[in-house]
Amino acid sequence: MAKTPEEEHPIKAVGWAARDSSGVLSPFKFSRRATGEKDVRFRVLYCGICHSDLHMVKNEWGTSIYPLVPGHEIVGEVTELGSRVNKVKVGDKVGVGCVVGACHSCENCNNDLEVYCPKMILSYGACYYDGTVTYGGYSDTMVADERYILRFPENMPLDAAAPLLCAGITVYSPLKYYGLAEPGKHIGVVGLGGLGHVGVKFAKAFGAKVTVISTSSSKKDEALEHLGADSFLLSSNQEQLEASLGTFDGILDTVSAMHSILPLIGLLKSHGKLVMLGAPEKPLELPVFPLLMGRKMVAGSATGGMKEIQEMIDFAAKHNITADIEVIPIDYVNKAMERLAKGDVRYRFVIDIGNSLASSN
């Protein structure tokens, strides 16, 4: 007879889970594995809500396994170490991002790119090495192999740092990989949401000229005055688009909704790069002729390997980069999901797990 989630492992855990594609989350009892010799266990203090959590609880990508405990922007304080762990100590501030396992022997793993491993294991909704389902950070405790543990400086606020584990690395990695993390580059950021707002911050820290590209004129003051972007482009304004043709070295497209990428390709200089970071539910139309006429590139990027995520955290700490957040209790999570679907958040919800989960169960 199959064991229940509460019986699978020896360490009792509580969280909030979706039971079906309605996406409604409610209290859930399950279990975590015992701390192995290379494992780090930590008390979860905060967990960010990523837009992918919304897709997953509703099974909009067709891959969800229920019951599903979301959350891959997980931060907290170390409570227990395996006998062979040397990366952190009890009491350290740590986090776990999108990945908790990989094969560790393929070309990607050997190049510190675990996120691109064909056998990569996601932090929630995936099958772990032992055959059990992984559960994410909308929960009171977390355990992971030390390879997948990230360290945070003592002076970094964990609530505002949590979204860096997904949103932060998702914009940092392509800026670095595609040669856009250089002073003087002109970078466009499409969409001023959870990804976009930290994209502006990282690009500015690299010394780039940054233009926010948005369908909403109401984002202009926020982009220029609060986030420090150099300019603002209203994508529905044909005159502004035409004036900016061929002026961007690279564009980060963070939009998860269906949209046309043809106007964005037109904004690129020759050899420019349009990097897709959002994940629309349906395929986008890719016009090839404009690519040929400027040796332009439409590319994609996921998050990053563990080495690069740690590099990103250290860079963010040095440049005082954190996410702009709205901290919520766990019992507000369903309302937060509704608001996220409408884009009604500035710019990332973070659940105060440490102060609200126990009382909710």
Q: What's the mean per-residue pLDDT of the chain? A: 95
Tell whether the model's pLDDT for residue 361 goes beyond 70: no
Tell whether the model's pLDDT for residue 157 goes beyond 80: yes
The C-alpha atoms of residue 117 and residue 115 are separated, in whole angstroms, by 6
Q: Which residues contact 344 (CB under 8 A, 6 or more apart)?
A: none
CB 277 within 8 A of CB 174: yes
| Stretch 76-99: mean pLDDT | 97
Residue 1, pLDDT score = 66
3-state secondary structure at position 311: helix
Burial class (CB in 10 A: 0-12, 13-18, 19+), 324: middle
What is the dihedral sign for C-alpha 216, 217, 222, 223?
Answer: positive
Instruction: Name residue 82's amino acid.
Output: G
pLDDT tens track for 103-135: 999 999 999 999 999 999 999 999 999 999 999
Cα angle for residues 300, 304, 310 (degrees, 5° grid): 150
pLDDT tens track for 302-321: 999 999 999 999 999 999 99
Residue 257, pLDDT score = 83
Tell whether the model's pLDDT for residue 347 goes beyond 70: yes
Tell whether the model's pLDDT for residue 21 goes beyond 70: yes
Tell whether the model's pLDDT for residue 36 goes beyond 70: yes
Q: For residue 279, which of 164, 195, 172 has the smallest C-alpha distance?
A: 195
Give percent of the chain with pLDDT exceeding 90: 90
Per-residue confidence band for 359, with pLDDT thresholds at 50, 70 and 90: very low
Per-residue confidence band for 280, with pLDDT thresholds at 50, 70 and 90: confident
| Stretch 245-262: mean pLDDT | 93
Residue 343, pLDDT score = 87
pLDDT tens track for 181-221: 999 999 999 999 999 999 999 999 999 999 999 998 989 99
Q: For residue 96, which of 161, 157, 38 has the smallest C-alpha distance?
A: 161
Tell whether the model's pLDDT for residue 37 goes beyond 60: yes
pLDDT tens track for 46-76: 999 998 999 999 998 899 999 999 999 999 9
Tell whether the model's pLDDT for residue 360 goes beyond 90: no
| Other CB atoms within 10 A of residue 79 CB | 15
